[in-house]
Structure 1
């Protein structure tokens, strides 16, 4: 059996469980699957429904940390569906297709692609991977592979939150508050809100000078410091446009109260972050008849529903990137090896990251690069 190199979680635990391994190469693609040389990629359903990829570039996500630490609460039965250790992590990527399954119609060998995959299949931290072609799109021509690899998971998450969960109408006279505007998802959500949905007011939270500058670059019209009184800061802005939406990408329980306070009646809150605390009664959330909804990128592939949508979202993103409407938010590159992947996980756990981290075979053995 042909072997391949991979970095896998050999057991549930700390970053020391991420180890370089030699494992069997994926089988030939079936159904909707593909085989590709890749920068970052993953697929959607437990069955073979994507493509086979040779992975060269990846990006870091907090979901990888959750899975490694056995603390994910996104799905109550996750560990009965995900691969047993060694579990190859990695959610999105970019690369070149080597071969396709018989059901694949819109992609072919030698196509350069980018994608986001499934939480319950082997991931992209390996030389080869099977990925569902329905979660794949052609790579934007003006992005390098590492840049393209940094885009899918955060963009799809932000798009689903703003367009599908919050149901924001393009051009409506409304404002949005985005918590953690300099983070991976927040920096993309700011761009979608400002440049794609054309909202007149995009307020983000950031505390440091560098994060405040970055979130403004990503589309924020106003920035407030989350280490101070958010509600009072927004009131001091004297906005003529009401805050109708709040998108929480950090510490749900901490921001529910401020969100309810700044929202107009019948406003909406969406969060992507787990919480054990959810006060409702005797709060402005109930008094204002506010709506709350979760957004989880893995829902569609996990339950096998709306499988075409991720590819459709990425095809639209390709056009936005090539037009210059949406910018890549890659801020750091590390080598695609065990040391680089561990550093990426350490950065995610610190909670102080800006934008996205990309991993590249071209930087193996080097210290990595930071972009400002």
Structure 2
């Protein structure tokens, strides 16, 4: 089968950072689906794994896909051949930058009929991350939180784009999104933020401008270390703070006086540790498909970089590493 892989932690400009190659077709076992990958999306985790790779055997990256089930393992009960599915998968397994991929059925969901494969591939990883962060980590309740506020720092990327939509549709929170460029500021508002602020300025000053000096909930999606003193300043007493990036050391003592709780979200936790609630991601993706079908959630695809190949993936990795990506980049077909 055709695939794109890396063998060493090379800068994306290097001609061998990502290469086209042929690999043996995988065989599904147990709860695995063998999926014909039709479209993929690219995420920061792809670039992190590529840059930290140990030299050796080819590593296929990619953790956002939409496709069609070709075969199923002997323990599969949720899907059958011919079903259209979307998923992020497991970090330790070969990724979706290949014609065929095996994925645990409990990590996959039924793809919504309202989307084509490219639009669908843009959503799974970021939607799982956003959903788990809002409802599993911060403990938000659907239909609740009227009169409370949520600030999303770095809201124009993939996770922020879907998180704003979910929070707008499923809670009564007043949503504040941050960005720093005219196009990203407009995008954040389009994704559902009630207010938009510029995070290149102090967060406390920007919130004072809105007349909302403190927030009950705050999610930081990137550059948490740089923003952390201001984050601590704008949190309301007994607020909840969530993050997904990999900051350097944080002085979490800044949160003590207000009894602010800190919550990490890593969407691969369930798959990495085979937690008893592994099937939660299947149920989450099925619920998300319903919201898409109802027209309440839309794809966050903003760029289509052509077929799935090394050249297109290099372009996508370079854009993500530039820090100027907005929404999600997809590739489709081989």
Output the TM-score relative to the length of structure 1. Answer: 0.85
Q: Give the Cα–Cα distance (whole angstroms) in 1 for the partners of residues 68 and 113 of structure 2.
A: 13
Alignment check: 8 A CA contact 1:165 1:270 kept? yes
Q: State yes or no: 1:194 paired with 2:152.
A: no
Shift of 1:84: 5.5
What residue number does 2:260 align with?
290
In the other structure, the counterpart of 1:207 is 180
- Say which SS state the counterpart of residue 265 (structure 1) adopts: strand
Cα distance in 2 between the residues matched to 1:269 and 1:227: 20
Structure 2 residue matching 1:131: 3-state secondary structure: strand
Q: Which residue does 2:48 correspond to in 1?
A: 66
CA distance in 1, matches of 2:212, 2:251: 27
Aligned-partner Cα distance in 1 for 2:170–2:206: 26
- The answer to whether the Cα contact below 8 Å between 1:115 and 1:152 also exists between their aligned partners in 2 is yes
Q: Is there any run of 5+ residues in structure 1 with no aligned partner, and where?
A: 35-51, 72-78, 365-372
The answer to whether residue 310 in structure 2 is matched with residue 338 in structure 1 is: yes
RMSD: 1.5
Corresponding residue for residue 299 of structure 2: 328
Q: Which runs of 5+ in 2 are unaligned?
A: none
Q: C-alpha separation between the residues in 2 aligned to 1:198 and 1:345?
A: 36
Contact 1:187 1:218 in 2 (8 A): yes
Partners of 1:263 and 1:150 in 2: CA distance: 31
Residue number in structure 1 paired with 2:39: 57
Q: 1:150 and 1:194 mapped to 2: Cα distance?
A: 19
Structure 1 residue 257, shift from structure 2 partner: 1.5
- Alignment of structure 1 residues 33-44 onto 2, 5 Å: 33-34=32-33
Deviations 1:15-49 (A, max 9, x none): 2321011111112x111001xxxxxxxxxxxxxxx
One of 293, 302, 315 as aligned partner of 2:286: 315
List per-residue Cα deviations over 1:198-233 (Å, max 9, x = no partner). 31x100111211111111111100011011121111
Q: How many residues align?
A: 327
Q: Runs of 4 or more off by more than 3 Å in structure 1? A: none
Instruction: Report the Cα distance in structure 2 between the residues aligned to 1:84 and 1:304, rounded to whole angstroms.
Output: 26
Q: TM-score, with normalisation over the residues of structure 2?
A: 0.95
1:271-286 alignment runs, 5 A limit: 271-281=243-253, 283=254, 285-286=255-256
- Does 2:180 match 1:183? no
Aligned counterpart, 1:359:
331
Q: Partners of 2:78 and 2:93 in 1: how far apart?
A: 22
Give the structure 1 partner of residue 226 of structure 2.
254
**For 1:250-280, what per-residue CA distance to the aligned partner results, in whole angstroms no more than 9, with x for missing partners?**
1111122112111110101111000122113
Q: Indicate whether 1:96 and 2:68 are aligned.
A: yes
Kindly indicate whether the alpha-carbon contact (under 8 Å) linking 1:58 and 1:359 is maintained by their aligned counterparts in 2. yes
2:274 matched to 1:304?
yes
CA contact (8 A) 1:196 1:325 kept: no
DSSP-derived class of the 1:287 partner: coil
Find out whether 1:123 has 2:95 as its counterpart: yes
In the alignment, which of 238, 241, 251 is matched to residue 211 of structure 2?
A: 238
The Cα of 1:56 is off from its aligned counterpart by 2.4
Deviation at 1:102, TM superposition (A): 1.4
CA distance in 1, matches of 2:261, 2:158: 25
| 2:119–2:301 CA contact under 8 A, matched in 1 | yes
CA distance in 2, matches of 1:218, 1:337: 30
Conserved in 1, the CA contact under 8 Å of 2:203 and 2:231? Answer: no
Q: Is residue 218 from structure 1 mapped to residue 200 from structure 2 by the alignment?
A: no
Q: Secondary structure at the match of 1:104?
A: coil
Could you tell me how far apart the structure 1 residues matched to 2:325 and 2:185 are? 13
Please give the residue correspondences for 1:108-187 in structure 2 after superposition, counting only pairs within 5 Å: 108-170=80-142, 171-173=144-146, 174-187=148-161
Deviation at 1:247, TM superposition (A): 0.6
* Equivalent-residue separation in structure 1 for 2:326 and 2:252 (angstroms): 32
